[in-house]
Amino acid sequence: MSLDSNNPLKTKSWLKLINHFKKIKDIHILEHFISDKSRGKKFSIKWKDFLLDFSKNNIDGETINLFQKLLNEINLKGSIEKYFSGEKINLTESRPVLHTALRADGMSKILVEGKNIMSEIAETRDKIKLFSHEVISGNYKGFKGDKIEAVVNIGIGGSELGPSMVVESLYHYKNHIKTYFISNVDGDHVQDIISDLLPEKTLFIIVSKTFTTTETLTNANTVREWFLKSAEEKDIPKHFVAVSSNVDEVINYGIDPDNIFPMWNWVGGRFSLWGSAGLSISLSIGYQNFSELLEGAREMDIHFKTSEYSENIPVILACISLWYNNFFNYHNHGIIAYSEYLKNFSKYLQQASMESNGKQTDRSGNFVNYETGQIIWGQTGSNAQHSFFQLLHQGTKIVPLDFIGFSKPLKGNNTHHNILMSNFFAQTKALMTGTFKIKVNDNHKFFNGNRPTNTILIEKLSPKNLGSLISLYEHKIFTLGLIWNIFSFDQFGVELGKKLAKDILSDINSGNYSGHDSSTESLLKEYIFGNK
């Protein structure tokens, strides 16, 4: 059974939220603090190493009550049950959505088409563990008998963004193996990476769920040709492995069947880092750290499944985003992490969130008449403060923000960390307070404040906490998609461009520029013939 279809605008709670919005919308956030001295604590959730403070938002107790009613009305609990138990909630592709199974504990029983998938997941975990151990320890040898010194992940979208973000975020835990990511079909970039590598000491992981993605196959072919300039066909199995659900295509491509790490069609690409697509993670930080990442995600899964809505971090964050997106009409959402290690976290969330919830058709097949999706972007703090924060403080647009920071630095430099974190706390305060009730004579120096933020303060950037953080956002995305009554786990919106690119490539190769609109024609003409 798939998810129910409920137009959120037709629920009783939505109407009540509209009336509540009218009452609350003009209240300055700081006024909530003036009228309730314990607000900071009241609107916070402490969970394991996480403290979520969501008090600096334009909400009150009634907002949370009404959202709880909305979630009951649309049966969030029942939908979570369907999500975790393997019901086909990705109805448009007729698939379950089971990235949570990839991190479930080995004793769980999760059935797909009547078969418990936990045994194949366990086998795959063992395969990743053994392979990682062999490569990292140096037992695994390349075609000339060398140890592997570099791993190159060739994949795009979910086959790159998650793994590369985790490898980069956990750089502190990294071993001696260099990890590279080739995603874009930009030949200059591929060439630059290749020039850093020695074929006899490099392992290539081709990651593609479908094994049909043009960018990935083109990059893989280029790398293979380069490899074969120094080696022979028989050396390929030692240096090329694949992560895919399309076993036939991988074998056709010439990869040894023993070198295939499986993906399954019940895991979406953008949620796949927890399984074989995370091979580059395990090779980069070791299997033990990889399994702690899974453990952290699993703990957040349990929190999401079992906590009351008012104590449930992903649920609260989803409701707050919905509040701004659909009632205040703030359509952007910024992610500001106060750690350079997390510099690609917002880039990862862009795909996870925008590919999931950028939809215009509801679960009954009708076009929606309300806003869905959020425009996600971000940068690390304090760099962002010296870049676009001007607009966030004094611009005409309001962008709700998540601030993510850590109580402890990883390398013990407290002087730096205190400066970094003083900025972290100062910014959310400044964004909320502005120059509220302070007389400012020069309008250029006036700050309205009243700019909403969530603060996620985490003990330290460990594999486990990172796993929980990613899982938190995955469940926020699920909850938002559920309320918006859309299907969050397909991505048909990427297909049209792919098809047109194929047609245009054959035009370019044959020197034809006609048959398009006049803009595309003249651009193609310029590209093909230049000044000739």
Active site (catalytic) residues: 355, 386, 498
Tell me which residues in 349-368 interact with ligand F6P (CB under 6 A).
355
The interface mask with ligand F6P, positions 255-294, x = CB under 6 A, is: --------------xx------------------------
270/464 with CB nearer ligand F6P? 270
Q: Which C-beta is closer to ligand F6P: that of 213 or that of 357? A: 213
What residues from 501 to 520 belong to the interface with ligand F6P (CB under 6 A)?
none
Choose between 217 and 368: whose C-beta lies nearer to ligand F6P.
217
Residue 182 parent element (H or E): strand 178-182
Residues in contact with 159: Cβ distance below 8 Å, sequence separation at least 6, in sequence order: 153, 207, 208, 209, 213, 216, 243, 269, 272, 277
- 234: exposed, middle or buried (C-beta count within 10 Å: 0-12, 13-18, 19+)? exposed
Residue 33: name the closest of 506, 442, 447, 437 by CA: 437
CB of 223 to ligand F6P, least distance (A): 15
Number of residues that bind ligand F6P (CB under 6 A): 15
How are beta strands 453-458 and 44-47 bridged, if at all?
unpaired
Q: Residue 207 CB, nearest distance to ligand F6P (Å)? A: 6
Interface residue with ligand F6P, options 157, 296, 378, 467 (CB under 6 A): 157
Q: Which residues pair with 90 in a beta bridge?
A: 95
Q: Does residue 209 touch ligand F6P according to CB under 6 A?
A: yes
Q: How far is the CB of 358 from ligand F6P (least distance, A)?
A: 12
For residue 383, state whether it binds ligand F6P (rule: CB under 6 A): no
Q: Using CB under 6 A, pick the residue from 8, 96, 142, 158 that binds ligand F6P.
A: 158
From 216, 325, 385, 433, residue interacting with ligand F6P (rule: CB under 6 A):
216
Stretch of 133-141, 210-218, 363-371, 505-513 lying at the interface with ligand F6P (CB under 6 A): 210-218
CA distance 4 to 18: 23
Q: Label the pairing between strands 111-112 and 115-116.
A: antiparallel
Contacts of 421 (CB under 8 A, 6+ apart): 338, 405, 407
Taking CA atoms, 188 is separated from 182, 194, 220, 244, in Å, by 11, 10, 14, 26
Q: How far apart are CA 72 and CA 290, in angstroms?
A: 36
Contact track, ligand F6P, 137-156, x by CB under 6 A = ------------------xx
Amino acid at 211: F
**DSSP β-ladder status, 453-458 and 50-53:** antiparallel
Distance in Å, CB of 269 to ligand F6P, minimum:
3
**Cβ contact 158:210 at 8 Å:** no
Q: Two tokens at 91?
A: 């109805």
Reading the block at residue 158, the tokens are 């979910």
**Cβ closer to ligand F6P: 124 or 213?**
213
Q: What is the token pair recorded at 314?
A: 């992903």
Complex with ligand F6P: residue 157 or 163, whichever CB lies closer: 157
Which of 2, 7, 44, 210 touches ligand F6P by CB under 6 A? 210
Residue type present at position 395: G
CA distances from 515 to 75, 298, 468, 504, 518 (A): 50, 53, 51, 10, 9
Between CA 195 and CA 276 the distance in angstroms is 27
Q: Which of 34, 494, 501, 505 binds ligand F6P (CB under 6 A)?
A: 494
**CB of 160: closest distance to ligand F6P in angstroms?**
8
162 binds ligand F6P (CB under 6 A): no
Q: Which of residues 80-119 bind ligand F6P (CB under 6 A)?
A: none
* CB-nearer residue toward ligand F6P: 348 or 389: 348
Q: H/E element holding 476? A: helix 463-484
CB of 503 to ligand F6P, least distance (A): 17
Window contacting ligand F6P (CB under 6 A); options: 185-193, 202-210, 369-377, 500-508 = 202-210
Q: Which is nearer to ligand F6P, 130 or 494 (CB)?
A: 494
For ligand F6P, the binding residue among 79, 153, 208, 282 (CB under 6 A) is 208
Cβ–Cβ under 8 Å, residues 194 and 226: yes
Q: Give me the least distance between CB of 469 and ligand F6P, in Å please.
A: 20
Measure the CA–CA gap between 285 and 61, rounded to whole angstroms.
Answer: 43
Min CB(190)–ligand F6P separation in Å: 16
* Residue placing its CB nearer to ligand F6P in the complex, 94 or 415: 94
Q: In sequence order, what E strands does 115-161 have?
A: 115-116, 150-154
Burial letters 254-264, b for 16+ CB under 10 A, else e: ebeeebbbbbb
Q: Which is nearer to ligand F6P, 315 or 352 (CB)?
A: 352
Answer whether 52's CB lies under 8 Å from 320's CB.
Answer: no
Of the candidates 95, 121, 491, 524, which one interacts with ligand F6P according to CB under 6 A?
491
User: What whole-number distance in Å separates Cα of residue 480 and Cα of residue 86?
Assistant: 19
Binding-site ranges for ligand F6P (CB under 6 A): 155-159, 208-210, 213, 216, 269-270, 355, 491, 494
